[in-house]
Amino acid sequence: MTVKRILFGRPLRSVVFDVAVSGFVVLFGLTGAADQPGGWWGTGVGAAMAVALLFRRTHPSAVTGIIAVLALVQVVAGWGPLAFNVAVLIALYSVVKYAERLRDGIIAGIVAAVGVVLGALQMQGTAVWWATAIWFGLVTGAVWLMGLNVRTRRLYVFSLEERATTLEREREAESRAAVAEERTRIARELHDVVAHSMAVMIVQADGARYMFDRDPETAREAVKVVADTGRQALEEMRRLVGVLREPSGPDPAAGTDGPGPPGLSAEPVHRRPALVGLPDLLDRFRAAGLRIDWSVTGEPPALPPGLELTVYRVVQEALTNALKHAGVGATVALGMEHTPHAVVVRAADDGRGRPVVRPAPSGGHGLVGMRERVTVYDGSLTAGPRLAGGWQVEVRLPLPSSTVTEVTA
């Protein structure tokens, strides 16, 4: 964990650096204070410039204005350029780098150019004044351009950080929207499952009532079906409570294309997918260009409708992702393993297909939707790249206790 130290509302590192810069200017002002033009008065002007530099980050334009006035006092007094005038260059660099508007830096550059000419006229020596002015101008111009370059990079970094923050917020919002939409879809599908169970229970109960006297054995069988169906519906309803369901409305996935590539998984709204439809689903993906090696191990038990639907959707989303990312022509090893306690779905592609010409949207939002479905049934999802290339997905869904009892019996 990184702790940022703050002093006077500013990072400690910046405060220490500005104090060091000001101390550097003070040392320049003290150099030959007794012999330089202006004497101790000149040294006082240099010290005032150094103090002003302490605020060059927070108030760059004001600091530059103060130092410009102090430099004008130096020119009017006829002291000529002195060692502490390095503060002028530092202020010029600071206003170009830190000012909110570049206009302040341009104005400071013009004022500095005037100061260069005035300072050159006061230089005593053998060289002509304009040669000295050119030399001072080159140094001042280099400092101004250096400040402009650092300002450009600083603003660019700020824009990247702001863009990254915006993208992060958008990604979080999209993830929340994807989860909410997938939960709504799951709620509708589980609602259909429970409604089907209720209808079966009503039909069997009516049949049992009429068969009590005529055929007691048939009536007992009907009552057993009612009990089993009620337990299964109760379990589905328990899971349904944990899923948010929006008010009924048009199904966004009820168009011509459901989760997966267009034309591959078009399903009428009134028909709930089941595992018996897996061969047709695989044929559609094969027609789209995937090479699918399908295998089933173990004895398939009679799964609850909601769990059966989840397995179907997991297979559908895994094949959709393989087609989208591995591309047409990729080989997918798809397997379903039935154990006494769980159903395991594994999908691994080699990643060696060619990209599809027109990427297809995924109504299930990829791994987000798959993980949401699996979590409803207390399952686990593992996904990641393979060492040999491609991508692999493994989903493990535990069986309900009633199903486990039937399998082990």
Residue 245's SS3 state is coil
Backbone dihedral region for residue 80 (phi beyond 0: left; psi -120 to 50: alpha; all else: beta): left
Q: Token pair for residue 257?
A: 């294309």
pLDDT for residue 258 is more than 50? no
Tell me: pLDDT of 255 over 60: no
Q: Determine the Cα angle at 144 with ends 140 and 147, to 5°.
A: 140
The residue written with tokens 């779905």 in the block is 345
What is the pLDDT at residue 345? 95
Give the model's pLDDT for residue 326: 82
Per-residue pLDDT, 334: 95
How much is the pLDDT for 240?
Answer: 61
Evaluate whether 21 touches 53 at the Cβ level (below 8 Å): yes
Q: Which residue has the higher pLDDT, 353 or 351?
A: 351
Name residue 374's amino acid. V
The answer to whether 385 and 391 are in contact (CB under 8 A) is yes
* pLDDT for residue 186 is more than 80: no
Closest to 364 measured CA to CA, from 162, 136, 182, 148: 182
- Rounded to the nearest 10 degrees, the angle between the axes of helix 60-76 and helix 39-52 is 170
35 or 107, greater pLDDT? 107
Task: Sketch out the chain's domains with CATH numbers.
Answer: 6-124 (no CATH), 178-241 (1.20.5.1930), 275-408 (3.30.565.10)
Angle, helices 102-121 vs 60-76, to 10°: value is: 10
Is the pLDDT higher at 360 or at 140?
140
Exposure of 120 in the CB half-sphere (CA atoms within 13 A): 20
User: Does the structure show a pLDDT above 90 at 185?
Assistant: no
- pLDDT given for residue 36 in this prediction: 67
- The DSSP line for 250-299 is --TT-SS--SSSTTTS---TT----GGGHHHHHHHHHHHT-EEEEEEESP
- Chain-wide mean pLDDT for the chain? 77
Confidence class for position 200, pLDDT limits 50, 70, 90: low
Given a cut of 60, whether residue 98 has pLDDT beyond it is yes
Flag whether pLDDT at 337 surpasses 90: yes
pLDDT in tens, 271-330: 556 788 889 889 888 877 789 999 999 888 888 888 888 898 889 888 888 888 887 788
Task: Name the CA dihedral angle for 344, 347, 348, 352, rounded to a multiple of 10 degrees.
Answer: 180
Residue 226 pLDDT greater than 90, yes or no: no
pLDDT at 120 over 90: no
Q: Rounded distance, CA 404 to CA 409, Å?
A: 8
Tens digits of residue pLDDT in 24-36: 877 776 765 556 6
Percent of the chain with pLDDT over 70: 77
- Give me the pLDDT at residue 348, please: 94
For residue 199, how many C-alpha atoms fall within 13 Å in the half-sphere facing its CB?
6
| pLDDT top residue among 151 and 44 | 151
pLDDT at 272: 54
DSSP string computed for 300-348: PP---HHHHHHHHHHHHHHHHHIIIII-BT-EEEEEEEE-SSEEEEEEE
Structure tokens at 365: 């939002």
pLDDT, residue 331, reads 92
| C-beta atoms surrounding 90 within 10 Å | 24
Residue 161 confidence (pLDDT) above 70: yes
Identify the band that residue 220 occupies on the pLDDT scale cut at 50, 70 and 90.
confident
Average pLDDT over residues 147-170: 89
> No. of H helices and E strands in the chain?
11, 7
Per-residue pLDDT, 394: 94
Between strands 10-11 and 331-338, the pairing is unpaired
Region 173-181 average pLDDT: 82
Residue 125, judged by CB atoms within 10 A of its CB (0-12, 13-18, 19+), counts as: exposed
Q: State pLDDT tens for residues 82-95.
A: 777 788 889 899 99
Above 80 in pLDDT, residue 333? yes
pLDDT at res. 343? 94
Instruction: Specify the pLDDT at position 78.
Output: 75
Q: Are 403 and 342 in contact (CB under 8 A)?
A: no
Q: In this predicted structure, what is the pLDDT of residue 349?
A: 92
Amino acid 127: pLDDT = 62
Rounded distance between C-alpha atoms, residue 322 and residue 273, angstroms: 20
Judge whether 184 and 246 are in contact, CB under 8 Å: yes
Label residues 137-175 b or e (16+ Cβ within 10 Å = b): beebeebbeebbeebeeeeeeeeeeeeeeeeeeeeeeee
Residue 151: closest CA among 100, 204, 80: 100
358 DSSP 8-state letter? S
Spatial distance between the Cα atoms of 383 and 163, rounded to a whole number of angstroms: 29
What local confidence, expressed as pLDDT, does residue 149 receive?
Answer: 92
Between residues 252 and 396, the one the model is more confident about: 396
Q: What is the rounded CA–CA span in Å between residue 318 and residue 358?
A: 18
